Structure 1
Amino acid sequence: MAADAKGRGWAAAVLLLLVLWLQPPPGRPRSLRFVTLVYRHGDRSPVKAYPRDPYQASAWPQGFGQLTQMGMRQQLALGRFLRRRYSGFLSDMYLRWEIYVRSTDWDRTLMSAEANLAGLYPPKGPQVFNPNISWQPIPVHTVAQDEERLLKYPLTPCPRYEQLQNETRHSAEYINMTKENWQFLQMVANETGIQHVSLESVWSVYDTLFCEQVHQMDLPAWATPEVMSHLRQLRDFGFDYLFGIIHRVEKSRLQGGVLLGHIRKNLTQAASEPIHHNLRVLAYSAHDTTIAALQMALNVFNNVQPPYASCHFFELYQEDDGNFSVEMFYRNESGKEPFPLTIPGCQHKCPLQRFMDLTAAVIPWNWEQECQVASTLHDTELFVGLAVCGSILLLLIILLLTVLFRIQSQPSGYRHVSNEGEEQA
């Protein structure tokens, strides 16, 4: 009996070892691997004033289109939020290989990036270079405005996009919107002194009045709450006009799909890198149209202007089974957590490959050719080449005529004439 019990015990032990051996090894816990941020600059002064506006450039401390102290505080708050959100993912101290920040070459976006980084990386320990300053310099990269082809939208020149916009102006929705608001637009034109106000340009009137209102400047009597609400609706319609209404997919290929293509490339590259890959956060400091174009390409745009310091998050996770997923969030209100964004056709925790498949249609394979820029350049080169060849040919003809003229104009001198007999000999 004892031997039987001992045998059964050995059998149970062997069976247990066999079960443990056959079980798959425990996977790594789900982990965040890479983050891309696209945020709008903070509060700014208006980009311009309308003709009858009592507040011209001199009414603003730094002139038009500049980041205000309110905007600096908004970006500082966003940076501090990012510090809390990514604590443990980003090092407590700034490490240059962990984060890369790119901005458009506008003062307000460059300064917003700097204010954001001040909140994200307050200096600690050996990085404190002045005990009286809770700040440290961190690089922000940019390209010249005329070379910007990634973050400032709409991207130009793009003849095909202009053709699509012309078709949009002739669409039923645009025409009806113009008819419904014709009298209102005429009123705005009369009150502001602008010769022509359209659905495309009325945003600037609202922008100017909104900036003045935020900074507690007196609005004109005609700018009632009802008028401001109407203007805001037309401003939001302007974003739909830029990137949607009709031909949304093709417009996205020519606009927001360009940025989305870069983001996709970085996500796939991060997924293929070792787990200890250095770069962890890529941040873009840009504009409201940047976020709108990007979200329209993703088909998650809510048709409302992205507010100051709003931020779109792409977070790449490695699941416990080794596969990767993408989660998107949108922070459009300070003091509140960002809310999740779900791309149509997928769940919020979207598998990376599924994310790539769903967004493939809006990624341009050759932006210049799809914009029909390349053919325009080719025609220009052809015309230049023909002009050069024609000029050279004309010079050769002139040179030849000159030589012939000089030969004919020479005086006829003595010539020996042979007699016929000598020629026969």
Structure 2
Amino acid sequence: MRIFLLLLLPATVLADPDFHDLRLSQLRHVVVIFRHTDRAPLTTFPGDPNRHHRWPLGLGELTSRGRAKAYALGRWLRNRYADYLTDNPREVYARSSPVPRCFDTAALVLYGLYPANREQKEWRPDQTWQPVPVTRLPDGADLYAAVCMPRVRDAMRTLVTLEEPASLRSSSSGPTHFGTLGKVFRFVAKMTNLTGDASSQKFIVVAKIVDAMSVAREHGLPLPTWASRYWRELKWAKDKVMEGFSRSQMDHMGGALLKDILARLKPVEQQAHSLMRGGSDSTEVPSKLTLMAYHDINIGSILLGLNGTFEEWPPYGAALLLEIFTLTSTVMPDLYVRVLYKAGDVVSNLALQGCSEPCSLQHFGELLQRKFKPVSRTACGWSDQQPLL
């Protein structure tokens, strides 16, 4: 049996007008891959005016805004799939990056999705929360969060010479025109007393420094005077480094993740076969929902791999949704997948490069093989004894 891929415009308006009559009443599974929500800066730096600012859970962890946003994402998912999901948390499989902010995001999304049901309240009537398992692998064992440093170094060597766009060169922010991304980062390194050679690791540190400034701006905190003056240049450089990082890691952080998800859909396909033959549902609780709580790099890698580009860096809580459903009274195959990208309050379609709508599972699989190549342990410096799952 083949699965077809349909792309959705915001809300429930289909991208292809020929499919306006498709209904979601026969949903078979939903996959949600999302970035953790708002967090504190990953680091501080010399001259940071917010060095002593108190982040309740610590650097790199969720903020109060992030916790609220994660819970809201869970409620949004519950509202969207109110006629599909039950109140039984056994129908969901959730996996998180080893990083605590991703685990916390997953837990809060599940809190919004599955508040305490009647059985849970029997032992504590005033309880609004119920425990839902989240799978998390040890540090260094999660393939979707492992960094292939040789590829990072290759990407950084290319980015050093990337020229500033004309819009920045004509900026009136100051008399200095950096010219290249490398010069922007060397400027930041100089202003923050970051010593050492121009290594890829140094680029990552500088990107984290600029990210810390971005978080400060989001929370209304001050920036160093020099950073405010050249903020447009700093943000451009940081976004380009993160895009380059995503491209360098997309084969495993994006491609392997997608391929493994497709493998998880096989039981859904088999169940659909049984139902179409008139079989009955299993007595076990059917799997209805898969949640994957990861990073902007994962979301960016998938967007770059499937679409080639994106308009803006995936924000906190950005999510990719795959809706698998069947249709009745149709000559077309009975299993379909609808793909959505949620960035903030906007839900839009993701146009696939190299696969027309509707895209069969066979063609989608071939697309993944073309876009995402196998990753060599040797080439990435990963030991054969290092488990990567």
Tell me which interval the TM-score lies in, with the shorter structure as reference length: 0.7 to 0.9
Secondary structure in structure 1 of the residue aligned to 2:101? helix
Offset at residue 254 of structure 1 (A): 4.5
Contact 2:38 2:62 in 1 (8 A): yes
The answer as to 2:227 corresponding to 1:211 is no
Measured against aligned partners, the alpha-carbon deviations of 1:25-69 in whole angstroms (never above 9, x if no partner) come to xxx997221111111111111111012213336622222111111
Structure 2 residue aligned with 1:190 = 190
Offset at residue 120 of structure 1 (A): 0.8
Secondary structure in structure 1 of the residue aligned to 2:93? strand
Structure 2 residue aligned with 1:5 = none
The letter for the 1-side match of 2:101 is R
User: Structure 1 residue aligned with 2:108, among 105, 108, 115?
Assistant: 115
Offset at residue 199 of structure 1 (A): 5.1
Change (3 A) 1:311 1:202: same
Measured against aligned partners, the alpha-carbon deviations of 1:173-227 in whole angstroms (never above 9, x if no partner) come to 6423385245543432333232367654432122111222222322222232x52
Secondary structure in structure 1 of the residue aligned to 2:48? coil
Change (3 A) 1:186 1:104: closer
Comparing both structures, which one devotes a greater share of its residues to helix? 1
Secondary structure in structure 2 of the residue aligned to 1:194? coil
Offset at residue 347 of structure 1 (A): 4.1
Gaps of 5+ in 2: 1-22, 165-178, 276-280
Contact 1:300 1:342 in 2 (8 A): no
Contact 1:328 1:348 in 2 (8 A): no
Contact 1:331 1:337 in 2 (8 A): yes
Alignment of 1:373-388 (within 5 A): none
User: Structure 2 residue aligned with 1:308, among 304, 316, 321?
Assistant: 316
Contact 1:33 1:270 in 2 (8 A): yes
Contact 2:49 2:223 in 1 (8 A): no
Alignment of 1:248-397 (within 5 A): 252-274=250-272, 275=275, 276=281, 278-302=286-310, 304-320=312-328, 321-333=332-344, 336-364=345-373, 367-368=375-376, 371=379
Secondary structure in structure 1 of the residue aligned to 2:244? helix
- Give distance in 2, aligned partners of 1:222 and 1:373: 38
Structure 1 residue aligned with 2:168 = none
Change (3 A) 1:255 1:214: closer
Contact 1:237 1:303 in 2 (8 A): no
Structure 2 residue aligned with 1:235 = 238
Change (3 A) 1:261 1:210: same
Change (3 A) 1:377 1:57: farther
Secondary structure in structure 2 of the residue aligned to 1:294? helix
Contact 1:252 1:362 in 2 (8 A): no
Query: Matched residues, percent identical?
Result: 26
The answer as to 2:83 corresponding to 1:72 is no
- Give distance in 1, aligned partners of 2:235 and 2:46: 20
Contact 1:39 1:309 in 2 (8 A): yes
Change (3 A) 1:148 1:73: same
Structure 2 residue aligned with 1:18 = none
The letter for the 1-side match of 2:194 is I
Q: Which has the larger radius of gyration?
A: 1
- Give distance in 2, aligned partners of 1:118 and 1:255: 26
Change (3 A) 1:183 1:342: closer
- Give distance in 2, aligned partners of 1:377 and 1:114: 32
The answer as to 2:45 corresponding to 1:50 is yes
Structure 2 residue aligned with 1:84 = 79
Contact 1:324 1:352 in 2 (8 A): no
Change (3 A) 1:183 1:122: same
Offset at residue 146 of structure 1 (A): 2.0
Alignment of 1:26-175 (within 5 A): 31-56=26-51, 59-91=54-86, 93-96=87-90, 98-128=91-121, 129-150=123-144, 152=145, 155-156=146-147, 158=148, 162=150, 164-171=151-158, 174-175=160-161
Measured against aligned partners, the alpha-carbon deviations of 1:90-112 in whole angstroms (never above 9, x if no partner) come to 11x1231x101111222211111
Contact 1:341 1:348 in 2 (8 A): no
The letter for the 2-side match of 1:78 is L
Paired residue total: 331
Q: Relative to structure 2, which stretch is displaced further, 252-261 or 189-198?
A: 189-198
Structure 1 residue aligned with 2:16 = none
- When normalised by structure 2's length, the TM-score is 0.75
- Give distance in 1, aligned partners of 2:112 and 2:191: 42
Secondary structure in structure 1 of the residue aligned to 2:251? helix
The letter for the 1-side match of 2:343 is N
- Give distance in 2, aligned partners of 1:83 and 1:113: 14
Change (3 A) 1:227 1:377: same
Measured against aligned partners, the alpha-carbon deviations of 1:302-332 in whole angstroms (never above 9, x if no partner) come to 0632111111111222233443222211111
Task: Report the aligned-residue RMSD.
Answer: 2.9
Offset at residue 239 of structure 1 (A): 2.6
Offset at residue 287 of structure 1 (A): 1.1
Measured against aligned partners, the alpha-carbon deviations of 1:308-362 in whole angstroms (never above 9, x if no partner) come to 11111112222334432222111111xx241111212334543322222222224
| Larger RCO, structure (CA 8 Å, separation 6 or more) | 2
The letter for the 2-side match of 1:219 is L
Q: Relative to structure 2, which stretch is displaced further, 180-189 or 228-237?
A: 180-189
Structure 2 residue aligned with 1:24 = none
